[in-house]
């Protein structure tokens, strides 16, 4: 560690100039990183949602060269008399966590992180929470290995939080289509045929000229559906709309945005907000018009998306976190995501960890309210029942 230094970035003005070294580290990782690790995604999220939080980006340097980046932020939760200081990933709820470390620097960077955590936790009651670490990631493997070797004062716990279904794409659409069940194939053909018989149907990607209008329709469709379930929906927050507008504008310029619409008689009835990056299609959010539910326009749109991805020679469609039943109509393969929590050992660390989880759950209830969380809970219950009927995915 004598030639390893840690530089902490705490000011927003210092975030943007990191783009050059950030991109350099991403390139050194090859295709083994996601779009949610890009400087563009994280810095844009911080611009829109950083208020009330403290930037805490760790730059691991060796001989004055950055060999790793841990994109952290600090937040606080207050529940009654208790205050929890969290160190977590920037955009923790909107990011699959993988640190930016080239393969030849992993050991040194992880060691530096653990030393930093031990020092910071010795100063106060700091909790490290990484909400979504992909199971099987090199980072998770190294953290498990070095946590006990480097630090004797850290108590690290893992809990599987969710799964992300994904589709490994074959060379041709026919090959993929044959992999679906006969009932599934017949349903897709029948619904598309019925829709095309009654209406003029078109599938298209947005352009610079159409982006604003089609984004507005996308927000409208998404909100309408959630309101019908008595849930506010993600785009009830104006900040979230502006964030997605900002990302769309930046990503469109870079060729990363894949925003597409399915139109019926020139009216948008389904819209998908996706990204293309490192030969992957990331399906972020889909919105559809329930007036056309009998045709399953959402499924028809997904069929066009997958067919288009195969035509562009992409390797995978990542349906992202969440176990919504409609995803398992297309695949049975999933990746699990783990929440990693680290606290100072001290007295009775297991009990303190359990108490911490209760406090954080209470904070979530207070933040969103039972009127918002209960409908979401009931939706998840229905989805779980439906997923079991379909035969939800098996982690691989």
Q: How many Cβ atoms are within 10 Å of 3's Cβ, its own excluded?
A: 9
The token duo for 45 is 């999220």
What predicted TM-score, i.e. pTM, was given to this entire model?
0.89
3-class SS of residue 288? strand
The token duo for 297 is 């326009």
Q: Over the stretch 253-305, which tens digit does the pLDDT of each residue have?
A: 999 999 999 999 999 999 999 999 999 999 989 999 999 999 999 999 999 99
Give the separation between CA 97 and CA 105, rounded to whole angstroms.
18
- Of 224, 305, 290, the closest CA to residue 260 belongs to 305
pLDDT value of residue 371:
53
pLDDT value of residue 133:
86
pLDDT value of residue 377:
47
Contact 259, 273 (CB under 8 A): yes
pLDDT value of residue 390:
54
Give the separation between CA 396 and CA 393, rounded to whole angstroms.
9
pLDDT value of residue 26:
85
Ordered DSSP codes for 134-160: ETT-HHHHHHHHHHHHH-SSEEEEEEE
Contact 295, 126 (CB under 8 A): no
- Of 41, 53, 65, the closest CA to residue 10 belongs to 53
Alpha-carbon torsion (59, 280, 201, 181), positive or negative? negative
**Segments of the chain scoring below 70 in pLDDT:** 1-2, 30-31, 94-100, 102-103, 367-396
Domains of the chain, with CATH numbers? 4-163+338-390 (3.40.630), 170-314 (3.40.630.30)
Contact 73, 82 (CB under 8 A): no
Give the separation between CA 150 and CA 147, rounded to whole angstroms.
6
Give the separation between CA 53 and CA 7, rounded to whole angstroms.
19
Give the separation between CA 223 and CA 232, rounded to whole angstroms.
7
């Amino acid at each position: 560690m004598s030639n390893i230094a840690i530089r902490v970035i705490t000011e927003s003005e210092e975030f943007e100039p990191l783009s050059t070294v950030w991109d350099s580290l991403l390139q050194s990782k090859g295709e083994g990183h996601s779009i949610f690790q890009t400087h563009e995604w994280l810095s844009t999220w911080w611009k829109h949602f950083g208020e009330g939080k403290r930037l805490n980006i760790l730059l691991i340097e060796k001989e004055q060269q950055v060999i790793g980046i841990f994109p952290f932020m600090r937040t606080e939760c207050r529940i009654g008399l208790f205050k929890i200081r969290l160190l977590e990933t920037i955009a923790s709820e909107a990011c699959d966590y993988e640190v930016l470390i080239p393969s030849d620097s992993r050991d040194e960077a992880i060691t530096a992180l653990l030393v930093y955590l031990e020092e910071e936790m010795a100063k106060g009651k700091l909790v490290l929470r990484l909400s979504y670490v992909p199971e099987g990631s090199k980072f998770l493997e190294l953290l498990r290995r070095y946590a006990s070797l480097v630090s004797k004062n850290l108590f690290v716990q893992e809990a599987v939080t969710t799964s992300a279904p994904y589709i490994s794409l074959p060379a041709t659409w026919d090959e993929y289509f044959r992999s679906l069940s006969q009932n599934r194939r017949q349903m897709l053909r029948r619904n598309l045929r019925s829709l095309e018989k009654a209406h003029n149907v078109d599938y298209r990607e947005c352009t610079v000229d159409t982006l604003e209008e089609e984004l507005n329709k996308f927000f409208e469709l998404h909100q309408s559906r959630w309101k019908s379930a008595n849930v506010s929906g993600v785009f009830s927050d104006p900040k979230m709309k502006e964030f997605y507008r900002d990302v769309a504008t930046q990503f469109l310029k870079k060729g990363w945005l894949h925003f597409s619409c399915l139109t019926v008689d020139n009216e948008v009835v389904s819209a998908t907000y996706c990204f293309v990056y490192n030969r992957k299609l990331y399906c972020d959010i889909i919105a559809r018009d329930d007036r056309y539910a009998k045709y399953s326009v959402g499924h028809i749109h997904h069929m066009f998306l997958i067919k288009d991805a195969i035509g562009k020679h992409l390797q995978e469609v990542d349906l992202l976190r969440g176990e919504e039943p409609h995803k398992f109509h297309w695949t049975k393969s999933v990746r699990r995501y783990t929440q990693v929590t680290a606290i100072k050992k001290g007295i009775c660390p297991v009990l303190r960890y359990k108490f911490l989880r209760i406090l954080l759950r209470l904070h979530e209830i207070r933040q969103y309210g039972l009127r918002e969380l209960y409908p979401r809970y009931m939706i998840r219950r229905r989805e779980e029942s439906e997923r079991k009927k379909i035969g939800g995915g098996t982690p691989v």
